[in-house]
Amino acid sequence: MAESLTDIARKLNVAPSTISRAISDPSKVAPKTRAKILSYVEKVGYKPNLSARMLRMQRSTTIGIVVNDLSDSLIAQAANIMQDVAFKRGYFPVLLSTEESRTKERESISRLMMTNICGLVIIPSSATASILENINIPVVELDRSTNTNHNDEFRMDDQAAMQMATRYLHEQGCKHIAVFFGNIDRISSFKSRYLALNTCAQEGLTYSTFFVKGVTSNELTSTARLITNIILDERHAATASAATSAGGHKKSKASADHDSGSGNGNGSGSGISVDVDTKSRLKELMLPISYDLSKLKSELPIDGMIAANHSLASGMVQGFNDHHLPLNKDIKLFTFDHPDWLSVLPEDIPSITHPLNKAADLAMNRLIDRIENKYTETVEARLLRPQLLSSSHIEE
Amino acid sequence: MAESLTDIARKLNVAPSTISRAISDPSKVAPKTRAKILSYVEKVGYKPNLSARMLRMQRSTTIGIVVNDLSDSLIAQAANIMQDVAFKRGYFPVLLSTEESRTKERESISRLMMTNICGLVIIPSSATASILENINIPVVELDRSTNTNHNDEFRMDDQAAMQMATRYLHEQGCKHIAVFFGNIDRISSFKSRYLALNTCAQEGLTYSTFFVKGVTSNELTSTARLITNIILDERHAATASAATSAGGHKKSKASADHDSGSGNGNGSGSGISVDVDTKSRLKELMLPISYDLSKLKSELPIDGMIAANHSLASGMVQGFNDHHLPLNKDIKLFTFDHPDWLSVLPEDIPSITHPLNKAADLAMNRLIDRIENKYTETVEARLLRPQLLSSSHIEE
DNA sequence: TTGTAAGCGTTATCAT
DNA sequence: ATGATAACGCTTACAA
């Protein structure tokens, strides 16, 4: 068994309190005894019992970090940074991932509260507000918002980001842009990005919004892929009908599944086929926010696509690969989040860097400032400016 | 403040011990009082103080999980799985990431010990063995090994994996394969994969091994990229000189294009004049394990490349992109780990799936079995069979 | 400067 | 079936 403070006190013939002082407040003990104690403590590798200390002091140095999805490398990096900051400032971070599950979120927070955490950084979901209702420790919201204005918040300036995205595509000469979102009712960042779109009127630019079904990152990706395939099919059908529609093009894996059902139906020339079939298929893939398919087939074919996060972007890219279409040629792509895998693509995809690392740093530092009462202003929602990353647009 | 058990006892006019029993051992209390207590407890949302409980019971249900790199999505997924298993079996997982830093590893483990963890799953480094020396709780090693035979171990069967890799490339008609490793002295999986290579003699197949410098994933990637660029330069120079057979040292100009055009690769500097220069540059990029450059320039040009993990693979792919070379055409690529980003590439790269998720599940379950004395056999090193993933090789 | 003693919130062992 | 009591290891007045 590990030695306790009292054990050591007996061994050295001093009072337990002396040992305690020697460790925590060296000035309050005679240098000589202090040296004796510390050397012995060092020798036997004494580790104070944190449970006892926390119980006695009625406070802990444990900070909870609750994130939505650790498999997301952006989030994982942010988590790392927060752990670092916490460590450096003398706190002990406890990291939990909810996988976008409310049940898990509830369990995790509940369990964290039992362990006497002294603060919490959380990437909230729409369920978080009610879970946090009776919590009386400092909380900081990262990346998303509960919209309660109860806590400090650090996240990207979605409006600025969307502005950059649309302006960029506008400059590239795009006319009609498809924008992919996830569930805007569940995830605040999708919502704010969607709302931002309304402020992004660019001359001669129109948008089609797609609300992709799915909760997890993987679900978003595969659904986005399917939708992209449908869009590319549509486009192909449209251009092909202008010329002669010569059978189907070559597709691989994923597009094969969804095609098997429709089998290109009544294809055989005759302008734009699809219609009913495509419509119903699209409906299945999207959230029940009405989308007017006719937009998709307006005179202006889609020549730009924006993914509101990197999971959606991954699906888009896979869709283009399925069609053996080069990225950024006929249709310009643009993605939020600047995911790692961009570096491995043969073509550049312009992107908005998500300043999540910076936000994470600020969030953890703010939390600790709150804990230590070094920051006592009213709550603040800090929006971090994103950055446009693109080989053909190095300004900013 | 949160209510304590004693507070509740006072409110209900019962002894604290009765409350405690009502919660933890319902059979030991009268159904009537039990109901009264539980309903009240429910109402006020009583949360037991875990510090006090741990202090009293001299044990905890906290399990430490120490991983090397959370930004690695494979690792992050494994961490998730372990957290799940732990939760489901009534334990509380605490996740920490070391970023391959020994200091952090030491700190993390030390801190975990103070919090009274009852078990530990760790992805060990070469420093772990000494850190764990005086630990007397169950430990399970995941993915890598301390080679101490003190703990249960769950990881991939590296030998089988390397066999699959080389056999596959052999079947594809490769003759001379470059194999990229990281630091084999620091990371056991690199070592075992390297050692496995010796058992992989395939008829008419030769290997050149590259030990890539770097600790973090990013470092490995960027160094691997540079080395790949050099290899491709060499190859280009070789074929060019063969074609013109100008029997001279004209190769230097060959690589000029990609250097200027390759965008953000942190500049491989000015034109490449092979031999001396290349040799010294290669040396800088690789660990001081002697490598005979002449092999690289033997009659057999490299026609296959194996990356011993996905960070190295990422660098390779970027190298090919820098040269605007299609993957898998003249040089077949092969990677360990089956990283996510493969799905986003236009070309398939065959890969070995790392059965880390399975291993993580087994590891956490074994740990808890040890904690609960449900498993008392001597330590076991379980090697999990990897799987070959390739579009042109669906067997296995 | 150091020792003494009380108490943090639990649970286990007794006694009732 | 329940209540009283001690103890887990530590910190912190307060006393010496």
Q: Which of B182 and A261 is assigned the larger pLDDT?
A: B182
How far is residue B150's CA from residue B356's CA, in Å, rounded to a whole number? Answer: 21
Q: Name the region of A161 (left: φ>0; alpha: ψ -120 to 50; beta: rest).
A: alpha
Specify the pLDDT at position A5.
92
Asked if A341 lies within 8 A of B346 by C-beta distance, the reply is no
pLDDT band of residue A247 (cuts 50, 70, 90) is very low
| pLDDT for A292 beyond 90 | no
Q: Please, what is the average pLDDT of chain B? A: 84
A188, pLDDT greater than 60? yes
Q: From CA A333, how far away is CA A38, in angstroms rounded?
A: 62
- pLDDT for B288 equals 59
Residue A165 confidence (pLDDT): 94
Q: What is the CA radius of gyration of chain A?
A: 27
Residue A285 pLDDT level (bands cut at 50, 70, 90)? low
pLDDT at B135: 87
pLDDT at B247 over 70: no
Q: Is the predicted pLDDT of residue A118 greater than 90, yes or no?
A: yes
Is pLDDT above 60 for B215? Answer: yes
Q: Does residue B255 carry a pLDDT above 50?
A: no
pLDDT at B16 over 60: yes
Lowest mean pLDDT: which of A9-13, A86-90, B110-114, B273-277?
B273-277
Is residue B269 over pLDDT 50? no
Distance from chain centroid for Cα B298: 34
Residues A103 and A178 in one domain: no
Same domain membership, residue B226 and residue B91: no
The pLDDT of residue A201 is 77
Looking up residue B216, the CATH number of its domain turns out to be: 3.40.50.2300
Same domain, A180 and A122: no
| Same domain membership, residue A152 and residue A271 | no
Kindly state whether residue B162 falls inside one of the protein's structural domains: no
Judged against a pLDDT cut of 80, whether residue A99 lies above it is answered with yes
Specify whether A225 is located in the same domain as A101.
no
Asked if pLDDT for residue A136 goes beyond 70, the answer is: yes
Nucleotide nearest to A37 (CA to C1'): C2
Residue in the block written with tokens 């494979």: B74
Q: How far is the CA of B36 from the C1' of D4 (A)?
A: 22
Q: Under an 8 A CB cutoff, do B51 and A51 touch? A: yes
pLDDT at residue A240 greater than cutoff 60:
no
Query: Which pLDDT value is given to residue A148?
Result: 95
Of B237-241, B262-266, B285-289, give the lowest mean pLDDT range. B262-266
Q: What is the mean pLDDT of residues A48-71?
A: 92
Residue B380 has pLDDT above 50, yes or no: yes
User: CATH no. for residue B10?
Assistant: 1.10.260.40
Residue A271 confidence class, pLDDT cut points 50, 70, 90:
very low
Inter-residue contact A159 to A381 (CB < 8 Å)? no
B343 in a structural domain: yes
Residue B138 shares a structural domain with residue B225: no
Strand order, beta sheet including B139-142: A381-384, A152-156, A139-142, A119-122, A62-67, A92-97, B92-97, B62-67, B119-122, B139-142, B152-156, B381-384
Residue B297: predicted pLDDT: 56
Lowest mean pLDDT among A87-96, A155-164, B36-45, B236-245: B236-245
- Same-domain check for residues B95 and B179: no
Average pLDDT, stretch A94-115?
91
Task: Answer yes or no: do B213 and B86 share one domain.
Answer: no
Instruction: Tell me which of A64-68, B29-33, B45-49, B390-394 is least confident.
Output: B390-394
pLDDT at position A115 is: 87
In this structure, the answer to whether residues A278 and A322 fall within a common structural domain is yes
pLDDT, mean over chain A: 84
Which of A51, A96, A343 is opposite residue B83, by nearest beta carbon? A96
Report which DSSP code applies to A326. Answer: P
pLDDT for the residue A61? 92
Percent of chain B with pLDDT over 90: 57
**B32 CB inside 7 Å of strand D:** yes
With respect to residue A163, please indicate whether it lies within any of the assigned structural domains. Answer: no
Show the domain range for B198: 172-353
pLDDT of A135: 87
Query: Is the pLDDT confidence value at B235 over 80?
Result: no
Q: Is residue A392 part of a domain?
A: no
Q: How does residue B289 score in pLDDT terms, banded at 50, 70 and 90?
A: low
- How many domains are contained in chain A? 3
Q: Is the pLDDT of residue A13 over 80?
A: yes
Residue A272 confidence (pLDDT)? 35
Query: Which pLDDT value is given to residue A279?
Result: 61
Q: What is the pLDDT of residue B282?
A: 63
Decide if pLDDT at A22 tops 80. yes
Based on the fold, state whether residues A277 and A181 are members of the same structural domain: yes
- Arithmetic mean of pLDDT, A40-69: 92
B81 is a domain residue? yes
Does residue A154 contact residue A366 with C-beta atoms inside 8 Å?
yes
Asked whether residue A246 is assigned to any structural domain, the reply reads: yes
Which one, of B191, B80, B196, lies nearest residue B145 by Cα? Answer: B191
Both tokens of B62, joined, read 């906290």
Same domain, B178 and B322: yes
**Rounded to a whole number, what is the distance in Å from the CA of A19 to chain B's nearest CA?**
17
Residue B241's pLDDT is 54
Among the partner residues A95, A111, A344, nearest to B318 by beta-carbon distance: A344
Q: Is B275's pLDDT higher than 90?
A: no
- pLDDT over threshold 80, residue A297: no
**Tell me: the pLDDT tens digits for A353-379?**
889 999 999 999 999 999 999 999 999
Show which of residues 303-342 on chain B sit within 8 Å of chain A, judged by CB atoms.
314, 317-318, 321, 324, 340-341
Rounded to whole angstroms, the Cα distance separating B221 from B323 reads 16
Q: Which of A293-307, A318-332, B146-160 comes out lowest in average pLDDT? A: A293-307
CA of B165 to C1' of D1 (A): 68
Q: Is the Cα torsion angle B81, B84, B90, B91 positive or negative in sign?
A: positive
Cβ of A77 and B71 within 8 Å?
A: yes
Report chain A residues whose CB lies below 8 A from the CB of B83.
Answer: 96-97
Q: What integer pLDDT is reported at residue B200 of this predicted model? A: 85
Place of tokens 């992805």: B123
CB contact under 8 A, A134 and B45: yes
Question: Does residue A162 fall inside a structural domain?
Answer: no
Percentage of residues of chain A with pLDDT beyond 70: 82
Q: Give me the mean pLDDT over the A191-219 stretch.
A: 87
A70: contact with B, CB 8 A cutoff: yes
Nearest-5° angle of CA B265, CA B267, CA B271?
125
- The mean pLDDT of B191-220, rounded to a whole number, is 88
The pLDDT value recorded for residue B145 is: 95
Mean pLDDT across B337-366: 94
Q: Give the pLDDT score at B262.
A: 33
Helices (H), chain B: 5-12, 16-24, 31-44, 50-57, 73-88, 102-114, 128-131, 158-171, 188-198, 217-244, 256-261, 275-285, 293-296, 310-322, 356-371
Cα–Cα dist A297/B7, whole Å = 68
* Structure-block tokens of residue A392: 């053909």
State the pLDDT at residue B295: 55
Distance from CA(A17) to C1'(D12), angstroms, rounded: 9
Q: CB pairs below 8 Å between A and B: how many?
A: 124
Q: What is the pLDDT of residues B86-108, one digit of tens each?
A: 999 999 999 999 988 999 999 99
What residue of A is the nearest CA neighbor of B327?
Answer: A346
Cβ-based contacts of B104 with chain A (< 8 Å) = 87
Contact between B145 and B155 under an 8 Å Cβ cutoff? The reply is yes
pLDDT band at residue B19 under the 50/70/90 scheme? very high
Lowest-confidence segment of B233-237, B270-274, B339-343 by average pLDDT: B270-274
Query: Is the Cβ atom of B50 within 7 Å of strand C at any atom?
Result: no
Pair type for strands B176-181 and B206-211: parallel
Does residue B394 lie in a domain region? no
A87 CA – C12 C1', rounded, Å: 37
Same domain, A231 and A103: no
Distance CA A9, CA A12 (A): 5
Residues B246, B223: Cα–Cα separation, whole Å: 32
